[in-house]
């Protein structure tokens, strides 16, 4: 029976899962083990903490490990992960991919497009040996439809209302209360003091999405259209022979908001008629388990879900 380790390293946390005897045997969380997010010592400590909770025996290596990590473009990130994980895998079988590449296998698909929307936004497409990316440029150059983008657009709207002598409205009142700002001027100054902290601002996205202010719905609709455009761009770049039937999997923290999720689903279906739109119902770490299984010679990979 296969024994596998899957690890998902995001910008804020690390999730690790041990798969044995056809089920999830253990699962842990720890701070991010991404080099750019934590530095080498912090990353080493976070990865060690995540692995410690799996109850591993160093004398009994697992069959394979797959880690999907944010920040792989940083020099040394790949080699760092391999150095930490290789001793734990039989024959040193360690697969290292970007964290965004875990979504499709986590949903049980070998080909398709994944749209990930949280603090940032990106779409990735896979078809056979070909993989493409649309978006994911970061908050300064893109990330339309993301949590950071939603809050920034809401602030722009509120500033426009102020310029026109209008009241901030329900959205303004709610955003001021959520951020603890005395007035719009204070909120604007705080924003300019912290423009380099997208995660800090993205946490107010739910305030925007849950507001009944008509302008909030308009912002959400534009965000959904941007995400659908990312999906369409990835489909176009794949140039698959049957593109209208490629699955589109929605994932990321903002897909937990039902209103926004439904808006994105409808926008994708309008942009890509016939597309099979799915919402990821497990953690992306399930995709790491599936990719680890696929790497073992002679294995028959399957979607490894925590529900099994």
DSSP 217-282: HHHHHHHHHHHHHHHHHHHHHHT-SSGGGSEEEEESGGGGSHHHHHHHHHHHHHHSTT-EEEE--S
Q: Which two tokens stand for residue 34?
A: 């991404």
Using DSSP, state whether 38 is helix, strand or coil: helix
Average the pLDDT over 52-59 and give the result.
Answer: 87
> CA 164 to CA 221: how far, in whole Å?
23
Average the pLDDT over 50-68 and give the result.
Answer: 91
Helix (H) or strand (E) holding 83: helix 77-85
Q: What pLDDT score was predicted for residue 304?
A: 47
Average the pLDDT over 27-40 and give the result.
Answer: 89
Average the pLDDT over 256-265 and give the result.
Answer: 95
Range(s) within the chain of domains with CATH label 3.30.420.40: 3-102+283-295, 108-280
Q: How confident is the model at residue 238 (pLDDT cuts 50, 70, 90)?
A: confident
Helix (H) or strand (E) holding 113: strand 112-117
Q: What pLDDT score was predicted for residue 72?
A: 86
Superfamily of domain 3-102+283-295: ATPase, nucleotide binding domain (3.30.420.40)
Q: How confident is the model at residue 175 (pLDDT cuts 50, 70, 90)?
A: very high
Predicted confidence (pLDDT) at residue 148 exceeds the cutoff of 50:
yes
Average the pLDDT over 24-49 and give the result.
Answer: 91
Q: How confident is the model at residue 246 (pLDDT cuts 50, 70, 90)?
A: confident
Q: What pLDDT score was predicted for residue 78?
A: 93
CB 4 within 8 A of CB 16: no
Q: What pLDDT score was predicted for residue 183?
A: 92
CB 304 within 8 A of CB 36: no
Average the pLDDT over 129-144 and give the result.
Answer: 88
Predicted confidence (pLDDT) at residue 187 exceeds the cutoff of 90:
yes
Q: How confident is the model at residue 308 (pLDDT cuts 50, 70, 90)?
A: very low
CATH topology of domain 108-280: Nucleotidyltransferase; domain 5 (3.30.420)
Using DSSP, state whether 171 is helix, strand or coil: helix
Q: What pLDDT score was predicted for residue 243?
A: 60
Q: How confident is the model at residue 26 (pLDDT cuts 50, 70, 90)?
A: very high
Q: What pLDDT score was predicted for residue 71?
A: 84
Average the pLDDT over 203-213 and give the result.
Answer: 94
- Minimal CA–CA distance to 287: which of 110, 112, 126, 123? 110
Average the pLDDT over 254-261 and give the result.
Answer: 94
Q: What pLDDT score was predicted for residue 306?
A: 44
Predicted confidence (pLDDT) at residue 180 exceeds the cutoff of 70:
yes
Q: How confident is the model at residue 239 (pLDDT cuts 50, 70, 90)?
A: confident
Predicted confidence (pLDDT) at residue 204 exceeds the cutoff of 90:
yes
Average the pLDDT over 114-138 and give the result.
Answer: 90
> CA 74 to CA 35: how far, in whole Å?
7
Average pLDDT of the chain to the nearest whole number: 90
Q: What pLDDT score was predicted for residue 305?
A: 45
Burial letters 146-167, b for 16+ CB under 10 A, else e: bbbbbbbbbbebbbebbeeeee
Q: What pLDDT score was predicted for residue 181?
A: 92
Quote the percentage of the chain above a pLDDT of 90.
68
Predicted confidence (pLDDT) at residue 302 exceeds the cutoff of 70:
no
Helix (H) or strand (E) holding 95: strand 94-98
Predicted confidence (pLDDT) at residue 273 exceeds the cutoff of 70:
yes
Q: Which residue has the tokens 């008509």?
A: 214
Strands 64-69 and 94-98: parallel
Average the pLDDT over 299-305 and give the result.
Answer: 52
> CA 281 to CA 303: how far, in whole Å?
12
């Amino acid at each position: 029976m296969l024994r596998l380790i899957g690890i998902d390293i995001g910008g804020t946390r690390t999730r690790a899962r041990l798969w044995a005897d056809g089920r999830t045997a253990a699962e842990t969380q720890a701070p991010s083990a991404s080099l750019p997010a934590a530095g080498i010592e912090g990353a080493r400590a976070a990865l060690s903490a995540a692995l410690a909770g799996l109850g591993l025996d160093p004398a009994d290596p697992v069959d394979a490990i797959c880690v999907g990590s944010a920040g792989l473009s940083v020099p040394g990130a790949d080699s760092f992960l391999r150095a930490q994980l290789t001793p734990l895998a039989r024959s040193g079988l360690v697969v290292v991919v970007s964290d965004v590449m875990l979504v499709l296998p986590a949903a049980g698909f070998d080909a398709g497009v994944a749209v990930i929307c949280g603090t940032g936004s990106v779409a990735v497409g896979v078809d056979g040996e070909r993989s493409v990316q649309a978006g994911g440029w970061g908050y300064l150059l893109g990330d339309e439809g993301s949590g950071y983008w939603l809050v920034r657009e809401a602030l722009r709207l509120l500033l426009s209302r102020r310029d026109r002598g209008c009241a901030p409205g329900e959205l303004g009142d709610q955003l001021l209360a959520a951020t603890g700002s005395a007035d719009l001027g204070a909120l604007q100054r705080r924003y300019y003091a912290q423009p380099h902290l997208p995660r800090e601002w993205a946490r107010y996205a739910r305030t925007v999405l849950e507001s009944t202010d008509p302008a909030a719905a308009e912002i959400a609709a534009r965000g959904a259209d941007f995400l659908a455009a990312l999906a369409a761009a990835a489909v176009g770049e794949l140039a698959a022979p049957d593109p209208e039937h490629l699955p589109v999997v929605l994932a990321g923290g903002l897909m937990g908001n039902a209103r926004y999720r439904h808006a994105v689903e409808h926008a994708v279906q309008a942009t890509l008629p016939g597309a099979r739109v799915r919402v990821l119902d497990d953690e992306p770490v399930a995709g790491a388990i599936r990719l680890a299984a696929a790497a073992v010679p002679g294995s028959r990979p399957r979607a490894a879900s925590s529900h099994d």
